[in-house]
Structure 1
Amino acid sequence: MTTATSTPAGAAGAPGHEPVLGDPFGAVLRRCWEGGGGRDLAFEVVERDDGFIIAQDAGKYFEPRDQWPQTEQWAVERAQGRVLDVGCGAGRHGLALLESGHEVLGVDSSPGVVEVARERGLDVVQAEFTGLPEGIGRFDSFLLLGNGTGLLGTPERARAILDALA
């Protein structure tokens, strides 16, 4: 299970800034986007089933390409043709690919995240990536970057999901 809460810097417990239930990651990205998409506006707290907990600045989901980790830059540079951006988040990878001339479709399960990515200009469908809607077509490349790889679960499940995407 993954959880996230939306708390602006310095506002923990302040009225109107209680943790959000239901679509917490969507609320975190919404708060960051409405504040200009920069740093120190909202923070994501993730707790994995194995007990690992991490807090991250949500501004990272809006950073320009030159501020991404090298592995993400490498992957986006190698995308070809029509691209499926799995777990697209705020759309930073998909938008960079659009600027490079690719046709891109984002997919994310969070309704709030889908709204933010659409507002930023990405074509997005709300769905679980293990149950993509019929009729979205074929893709030449797919991205599964950032925390999205954790959605793959066990090595066996990952193999089956990646085979299905391929």
Structure 2
Amino acid sequence: MTITSSSRSPRGPARAAPAWSADPYTRALRAGGGPLYLRCPDGRRLPLEVERWCAGPDAADRTVLGRCTGRVLDIGCGPGRMVTALARMDRPVLGIDTVPAAVERTRRRGGPALLRSVFGDVPGAGRWRSVLLVDGNIGIGGDPAALLTRIRELTAPGGVLVAEASHGEAGLDERFEVRLDDGSGDTGPAFPWARLGQDALRDRAERTGWVTAGLWTAHGRSFVALRNGSH
């Protein structure tokens, strides 16, 4: 999971750099588990599945891995379970994340990863055949349309984006500022985020030039496969 960028290109608003060495997400990654939540302005706390992210790929993840062809880019790779799995399958893969602890953990697990924002300088732009956006990362930057447009720039013509949607709320489409909350009262800085259900994600993607290539659910998670038309 990518929480936020320390800075943004002209494609998005500038953000102050958070103190990643001590924030709740970094501590959870280093511990290998939570509790960890996204605290919404209305007081809701949305649980983040850090333990699952720090483990190996599960059955739902394997439905995603099975759709990966060619060179694979994992946006917001977090602690690197998908990157590591693909590397062990001898697939050309790269993970990017804006959190140093996430990149460090991915590398320790044997996966290639860079400390990089999706809105910054990403190697191989326009040549990635498969792109992953799982674990809620459709929320990156709080503007799904801008994110999906940017990912089209990174993806090869005819390439596929596999994006995970919020499960069980197909029409969900919300944007807000959130804070990380470890359950003890310690919260991180506010940052923009978004949540989309499967139908809403598909609709937004099609408006930004993607073509729906598949919809499925697996083990309580929902996904959309999107194909990039010509630029």
TM-score, normalising length from structure 1?
0.70
Is the contact between residue 106 and residue 123 of structure 1 (CA under 8 Å) also seen in structure 2? Answer: yes
**Map of 1:26 onto structure 2:** 26
Structure 2 residue aligned with 1:101: 90
Uncovered stretches (5+) of structure 2, i.e. residues with no partner: 5-17, 156-231
Counterpart residue number, 2:36: 44
> C-alpha separation between the residues in 2 aligned to 1:48 and 1:129?
24
Residue 55 in 1 paired to residue 47 in 2? yes
Q: 2: distance between equivalents of 1:160 and 1:43?
A: 33
Return the structure number with greater strand share. Answer: 2
Amino acid aligned to 1:149: I
> Partners in 2 of 1:27 and 1:132 — Cα distance?
27
Structure 1: gaps (5+ residues): 4-20, 33-40
Aligned length: 135
In structure 2, give the amino acid aligned to 1:158: L
For residues 66-77 of structure 1, the aligned pairs below 5 Å read 67-68=58-59, 70=60, 72-77=61-66
Instruction: Say if 1:110 and 1:126, in contact at 8 Å, map to a contact too.
Output: yes
Query: Contact 2:71/2:92 (CA < 8 Å) preserved in 1?
Result: yes
Q: Which residue of structure 2 aligns with residue 151 of structure 1? A: 140
Distance in 2 (CA, whole Å) between partners of 1:162 and 1:139 is 10
Which residue matches 2:103? Answer: 114
| AA of the residue aligned to 2:55 | E
Kindly provide the amino acid, as one letter, of the partner of residue 150 in structure 1: G
1: CA distance, partners of 2:87 / 2:46: 31
1:35-56 deviation digits (Å, cap 9, x = unpaired): xxxxxx4322213567642123
Distance 1:115 1:159, change over 3 A: closer
Provide, for residues 112-156 of structure 1, a one-character-per-residue CA deviation record: whole Å limited to 9, x for no partner: 1111111111111101111134xx223221111112111163343
Q: Which amino acid aligns with 1:26?
A: T
After TM superposition, list the pairs within 5 Å mapping 1:127-166 onto structure 2. Answer: 127-133=116-122, 136-137=123-124, 138-151=127-140, 153-166=142-155
Deviation at 1:89, TM superposition (A): 0.5
Identity of aligned residues (%): 28
Match of 1:36 in 2: none
Q: In 2, Cα distance between the equivalents of 1:125 and 1:118?
A: 9
Other structure's SS at 1:140 match: strand
Letter matched to residue 104 of structure 1: V
Q: Flag the structure with higher helix content.
A: 1
Secondary structure, counterpart of 1:88 in structure 2:
coil
Runs of 4+ residues over 4 Å off in structure 1: 48-52
Distance in 1 of aligned mates of 2:148 and 2:42: 21
Q: TM-score, normalised by structure 2?
A: 0.52
